[in-house]
Amino acid sequence: MILTVARNRLMNLRHDRAAFVLSFVVPIVFFSIFAAIFGGAGRSTTRKITVAVVDEDQSDNSRRFVEALRAEGGLAVVTAPEIKSGKAAPFTAATAEAAVRAGDFPAALVIPKGFGAIPIRFGPEGQHPRLTLLSDPSDPVAPHVLGGLVQKVAMTAMPESMARGGMDEIDRWSGGLTPQQRARMEEVLAQIRQQRSIPSSAGSRASGGNSGSGLVDVDQRAVLGQKKKNPMIAFYAAGIGVMFLLFSAAGAGGALIEEAESGTLDRILSTRVSMTKLLAGKLVYLAWLAATQLVVMFVWGSMVFGLEMRGHWGGFLIMTVATALAASTFGLLLAAVSRSRMQLVALSNLSILAMSAVGGSMFPRFLMPEVMQKIGLVTINAWAIDGFQKVFWREEPISHLAPQVAVLIGVAILLFAAARRVARRWEAT
C-alpha cells in the first residue's frame, strides 16, 4: 500500500512535466549559483578587492610600494578614475575619499609625502609618515585585507628600507656600530638593492596571511556611516524586502490563474473590461501591496533596529515606488506564463531565489567575485538594493537615484509589455 501511495505521487509528478523538470533543475541552479559566489567557480575562495591608491609621495619607495600592492593577487589597485577616453588625472586624497563615499571602492589608501624617506617604523618613537586607509564600513572585509597586505608588502617590497631602519635602530640603541660592522651592513644593503633589480613577483604573490605587525603606521578612517547605530540594517531591510516583495507579487499574481481556472476570467473579459485594463488593475493592486510591505518593513526597522528614516523619506518613497512596480510586473509576468498554480510556485521559487542570490538579497554583492557582481546587475534585487543603499547608507541626493529608478521603471515597462503579450492566450480564441 505504501508503495502504491509513492507510485501514485510519482505518476502525478510525471504528468506535470514543468514541475518534474524543475524539481531537478532548481537544486542544480542553486548549487551552481552559490558555488560561483563562494567558490569563485572553483578557482579561488577570495574575491579581488578593488582599492583606490593615492601616491602623494611619488618617491622610488612609494612607487615600489604601489607596484607591490598592484602585484598582490587579492587586490585590484586603481590609481586614477577610468573615463571613456582612457584614464583621468590620478586620485587625490579628496577624490579617492569621494569615490569610496560613492561606493566605487570599498577602501582607499593614501600614501603621504615623505613616506619613501622613512617608510618603516622599528622603534616606539620617531616621526614616521602615516598611511591613511579610507574605508566604507558596509564592506567589513576589504579594509582588513588591505591593512594586512600593506604590512606584508612593506616587508617584501622594501627590504632595503626595512634593513636600514633596523640598522639605524641597532646603531642607536647599541651605542654605535664598529666601522667593520657598518661596512658589512652596507655590503648587505647593496646586495639587497641588486636583488630588487631582478624582476620577480613570486614572493609578493604568495599569500602571507595576516601581517599586521605594524611596520607601517596606518590610520584607518570610515568615510561614511560613522554616526549610524546599525550600519547594515538598511542593506538587510532592502535585500530581504525586495526578495519577499517578489514572492508576494508572484503569489498575488497567481489570482490570475485561479480566475482562469474558475471561469471568472472569462466572465470578466465578457464585460467592458479588456485584458489590458485587467492587467493594469492587477498591477495597481500588486504595486500598492508591495509598496505597503516595504513601508511596513522599513518602519519596523526604524522602530526596532534604529534604521534612520528621518531625512530619508523622499529617496525611500521614490525607490519604494520604482521597486514595487518592477517586482509587481515580474509577478504578473510569472503568473501570465504559468499554466497552473503548481507551475507558478515552481517557477517563482526558481527565478526569485536565483535572482535574490545573485542580486545580493542573501549575500552582499560587493562581497562576491567581480564576475558575479556584474551578473547580479540583471536582477531587480541588485538595482533596488543599490538604490536603497544610496538613500540610507551613502545618503546621496535624490538625483543620484536616477540610474536605479530608470532601470527599475524600464524593467517594469518591459515586463508589463511581456505579460500583456503572454496574456493574449486568455483572450478570445
Q: Applying CB under 8 A, which residues contact other proteins?
A: 262-264, 266-273, 428-429
Q: Which is nearer to other proteins, 265 or 352 (CB)?
A: 265
Instruction: Tell me how far, at minimum, the Cβ of 345 lies from other proteins, in Å.
Output: 19
Phi-psi region at 86: left, alpha or beta (left = phi > 0; alpha = psi -120 to 50): left
Q: How far is the CB of 269 from other proteins (least distance, A)?
A: 7
Nearer to other proteins, 3 or 428 (CB): 428
Q: How far is the CB of 425 from other proteins (least distance, A)?
A: 13
Q: How far is the CB of 251 from other proteins (least distance, A)?
A: 14
Nearest distance, CB of residue 277 and other proteins, angstroms: 10
Nearer to other proteins, 7 or 277 (CB): 277
CA angle 58, 131, 203 (to 5 degrees): 75
| Other CB atoms within 10 Å distance of the CB of residue 310 | 6
In whole angstroms, the minimum distance from the beta carbon of 427 to other proteins comes to 9
SS (H, E, C) the chain: CHHHHHHHHHHHHHHCHHHHHHHHHHHHHHHHHHHHHHHHHHCCCCCCEEEEEEECCCCHHHHHHHHHHHHCCCEEEECCCEECCEECCCCCHHHHHHHHHCCCCCEEEEECCCCCCCCCCCCCCCCCCCEEEEECCCCCCHHHHHHHHHHHHHHHHCHHHHHHHHHHHHHHHCCCCCHHHHHHHHHHHHHHHHHHHCCCCHHHHCCCCCCCCCCCCEEEEECCCCCCCCCCHHHHHHHHHHHHHHHHHHHHHCHHHHHHHHCHHHHHHCCCCCHHHHHHHHHHHHHHHHHHHHHHHHHHHHHHHCCCCCCCHHHHHHHHHHHHHHHHHHHHHHHHHCCCHHHHHHHHHHHHHHHHHHHCCCCCHHHCCHHHHHHHCCCHHHHHHHHHHHHHCCCCCHHHHHHHHHHHHHHHHHHHHHHHHHHHHHCCC
Q: CB of residue 271 vs other proteins: minimum separation in angstroms?
A: 4
Q: Smallest distance from the beta carbon of 429 to other proteins, in angstroms? A: 6
Query: Is the CB of 103 or the CB of 251 nearer to other proteins?
Result: 251
Residue 304 grid coordinates: 526596532
Minimum distance, C-beta of residue 99 to other proteins, in the bound complex (Å): 54
Which C-beta is closer to other proteins: that of 254 or that of 315?
254
When the beta carbons of 265 and 344 are compared against other proteins, the nearer one is 265
For other proteins, the closer of residues 197 and 270 by Cβ is 270
Query: Closer CB to other proteins, residue 45 or residue 271?
Result: 271
The smaller minimum CB distance to other proteins, of residues 118 and 269, is found at 269
